[in-house]
Homo-oligomer: A and B are copies of this chain.
Amino acid sequence: MPHTYDYPRAALTVDCVVFGLDEDDLKVLLIQRGQEPFAGRWALPGGFVHVDETIDQAARRELQEETGLSKVYLEQLYTVGDLGRDPRERVVTVAYYALVRLGDHRVQAATDARNAAWFAVDDPPRLAFDHDAILALALTRLQGKVRYQPLGFELLPPKFSLTRLQRMYEIILERPLDKRNFRKKVLSLGILEELDEVEQDVAHRAARLYRFDERSYRQLVKDGFNFEL
């Protein structure tokens, strides 16, 4: 009985589509490649899976190493292993997408001094490998998922106004939402906690702040509740 299987092995990588939100845009974090192939081209942060870690762990480690980000929302997206996607040899990559609060983290240059920067998702540069396709897929998935699961809170600071929340949905879904209907709906879900605080340093009437209440959210999910924004 042999100790290993008699079959070819593939190089295994992870790639992360990291989404962030600023005032006007949904952004994606990209890394400028220092080496061939595709040297100088922008790419999704990622790298090889080590022998002693799970694929999920690899994704988190790469994210941490290349961007300094940790404890972010991370979810597996899709696995691609088409021939020729890497000109060198067959490389299978497991793609993830992550949601981060843009203000929280300062994105660091990677340890090996590659450049990191945020780009608007609807106007990215040409990407290395098949990363354009992965980015497009991630965006579609996010738009789909945000409709029936309150993922969006991962993109906002802990305290936020309803207007900020609405703008986030408008940016992600790429369509305007009615202010009164939006508030009616989102408040009726009962997953927002109204705080005794308002925005600071604004040159107009300050908006009340809210917090996402994960406890009642989980309760709703258990009861089989349906969202849909």
Contacts and interface: CB of A to CB of B under 8 A. Distances in A.
Interface of A: 1, 3-5, 7-12, 36, 48-55, 76, 78-83, 88-92, 94
Given A3-B88, A5-B89, A88-B3, A81 B49 contact: yes
A9 B12 contact: yes
B92 A55 contact: yes
A78 B54 CA distance: 14
A8 B36 CA distance: 19
A49 B83 CA distance: 12
Contact of A48 (B7, B50, B89): B7
Contacts of A7: 11, 48
11 contacts: A1-B36, A3-B88, A4-B11, A5-B11, A5-B48, A7-B11, A8-B12, A10-B10, A54-B81, A55-B79, A79-B79
Contact of A12 (B10, B52, B80, B89): B10
Given A9-B12, A88-B3, A79 B94 contact: yes
B89 A4 contact: yes
Contacts of A11: 4-5, 7, 9
